[in-house]
């Protein structure tokens, strides 16, 4: 499907039945309702949501990108992140962005409209099978896992690893387990109770836990802000010679 086609489809079915239940039941206010999304889709919102750690978390992702790479980002993110990824990939590369929600697709398409090396596709990340002939150098989940139920976490992690070629890298930037001394831990406890029912699983489980064949990969984890955030990179074990 080309960008034009998927755009008109996206506008036509803003509230459709194809959304996963958790999107309408839990996250309607944040990602589905077009009016609210229009208001929320800005850098300041990302900054505040991430307690001003946005730039270093974004850098953890951008630092993995080299010009000309083929990158799949599994879901849209508010603000200018997708534009920055697209610019870093550049016109000699490929940037594929998937998302499951029509209004997010619409926003992403507007942001990337002048960058023909980018393609925005309406797909559940758990059901994305890539494109023929495209082997991704980098596959990124930026703050998606904490928002999806447990079975979807398994499906998304495994889909990403199944699409990861030898020599490629997957990166997960997301919440982790905050240290007991970190006051934000207690704020997040309340936020999670009220708004993010699937987030605390990442306090208790390593991302590796969701991988069917975790032992076949090299897992590297960095934490930020007293453990509130984590960045996990994954490569095939057989391929330690990744260019980065
Ligand atoms: C990446 S997450 C959260 C990011 C962060 N809160 C932000 O600043 O946008 C939000 C996105 O994930 C999308 N999403 C949720 N479940 C998905 C799935 N199974 N596959 C692809 N995208 C999904 C939502 O539609 C939304 O655009």
pLDDT value at residue 4: 37
Residue-number span of the structural domain to which 121 is assigned: 3-170
- Whole-number Å distance, alpha carbon 98 to ligand 1 midpoint, is 9
Tens of pLDDT, residues 175-196: 999 999 999 999 999 999 999 9
Q: Is the CB of 106 under 6 A from ligand 1?
A: no
- Residue 150 placed within a domain: yes
Give CA 130 to chain center in angstroms: 15
pLDDT value at residue 16: 58
Tens of pLDDT, residues 6-37: 333 333 334 456 899 999 888 887 777 888 88
Number of domains in the chain: 1
CATH of the domain at 150: 3.40.50.150
pLDDT value at residue 86: 98
Tell me how crowded residue 233 is: count the other CB atoms within 10 A of its CB: 21
pLDDT value at residue 5: 35
What gap in Å lies between CA 95 and CA 115, rounded to an integer? 9
Look at ligand 1, atom 19, and give the residue with the nearest C-alpha.
124
- Residue 19 placed within a domain: yes
Burial of residue 183, with CB atoms counted within 10 A of its CB: 0-12 exposed, 13-18 middle, 19 or more buried: exposed
- Whole-number Å distance, alpha carbon 184 to ligand 1 midpoint, is 23
For residue 221, what are the contacts with CB-CB under 8 A and spacing of at least 6? Answer: 206, 207, 230, 231, 232
- Residue 215 placed within a domain: no
- Residue 182 placed within a domain: no
* CB-based contact 43:54 (threshold 8 Å): yes
- Residue 157 placed within a domain: yes
* Tokens standing for residue 238: 């057989």
For residue 59, what are the contacts with CB-CB under 8 A and spacing of at least 6? Answer: none
- Whole-number Å distance, alpha carbon 176 to ligand 1 midpoint, is 17
* Tokens standing for residue 52: 């001003």
pTM: 0.91
Closest CA to 96 of 78, 75, 124: 75
- Residue 8 placed within a domain: yes
Q: Extract the residue ranges of the chain whose pLDDT is less than 50.
A: 1-15, 242-244
Q: Is the CB of 46 under 6 A from ligand 1?
A: yes
- Residue 189 placed within a domain: no
């Amino acid at each position: 499907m080309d960008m034009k086609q998927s755009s008109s489809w996206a506008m036509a079915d803003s509230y459709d039945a194809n959304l996963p239940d958790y999107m309408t039941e839990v996250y309607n206010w944040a990602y589905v309702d077009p009016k609210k999304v229009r208001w929320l889709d800005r850098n300041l919102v990302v900054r505040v949501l991430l307690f001003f750690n946005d730039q270093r978390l974004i850098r953890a992702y951008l630092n993995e990108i080299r010009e000309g790479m083929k990158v799949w980002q599994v879901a849209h993110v508010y603000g200018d992140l997708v534009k920055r990824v697209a610019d870093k990939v550049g016109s000699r590369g490929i940037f594929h962005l998937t998302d499951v929600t029509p209004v997010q697709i619409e926003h992403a398409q507007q942001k990337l409209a002048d960058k023909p090396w980018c393609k925005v596709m309406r797909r559940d990340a758990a059901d994305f099978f890539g494109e023929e002939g495209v082997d991704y150098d980098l596959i990124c989940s930026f703050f998606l896992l904490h928002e999806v139920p447990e079975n979807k976490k398994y499906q998304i992690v495994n889909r990403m690893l199944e699409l990861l070629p030898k020599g490629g890298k997957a990166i997960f930037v997301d919440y982790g387990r905050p240290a007991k001394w970190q006051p934000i831990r207690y704020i997040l406890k309340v936020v999670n109770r009220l708004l993010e029912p699937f987030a605390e699983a990442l306090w208790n489980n390593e991302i590796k836990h969701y991988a069917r064949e975790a032992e076949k990969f090299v897992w590297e984890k960095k934490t930020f802000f007293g453990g509130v955030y984590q960045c996990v990179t994954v490569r095939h074990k057989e391929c330690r010679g990744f260019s980065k």
